[in-house]
């Protein structure tokens, strides 16, 4: 998956315009839709598209969208 494709999926979860995201956004400060339900959605997405089981704890440690991409085990290409 390319980074753009990932950002499009992520935009759907947090209800942002896909084209507005670059990856450098701060999750808590700049993404209004980043809430507890979005965390659950992100876990479901990681499971479905990447076959990865992510823990909420690891996700809580992420500060930016790019940090979330790092969690996906290099399955998102630059």
Partner 1 sequence: MTLNPMDLTGRRVLITGASSGIGRETAVLLSRLGATLVLVARRADGLAATERMLEGTGHRVAPYDLTATAEIPVWIKQIAAEGGPLHGLVHSAGLHMMRPLQVMTQEALESTMRINLGAAIALLRGFRQKNVVHRQGGSVVFLSSVMGLVGQPGVAAYAASKGALVAACRALALEEARERIRVNCVAPGQIHSEMADQQQQSLTPEQWAAVEALHPLGLGTPADVASAIAFLLADTGRWITGTTLVVDGGYTAH
Min. distance of Cβ 70 from partner 1 in angstroms?
A: 19
* Ranges within 18-57 binding partner 1 (CB under 8 A): 36-41, 43-45, 48, 53, 55-57
Q: Residue from 4, 5, 12, 28 that binds partner 1 (CB under 8 A)?
A: 12
CA separation (Å) from 12 to 17, 40, 57, 66, 75? 8, 13, 22, 16, 19
Span near partner 1 by CB under 8 A; candidates 11-19, 21-29, 69-77: 11-19
| Closest by CA position to 37, among listed 15, 70, 6, 58 | 15
């Amino acid at each position: 998956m390319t980074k753009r494709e990932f950002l499009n999926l992520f935009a759907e979860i947090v209800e942002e315009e896909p084209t507005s995201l670059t990856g450098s956004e701060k999750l808590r400060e700049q993404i209004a839709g980043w809430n507890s339900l979005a965390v659950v959605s992100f876990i479901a997405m990681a499971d479905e598209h990447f076959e990865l089981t992510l823990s909420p704890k690891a996700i809580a440690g992420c500060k930016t969208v790019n940090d979330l991409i790092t969690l996906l085990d290099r399955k998102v290409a630059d």
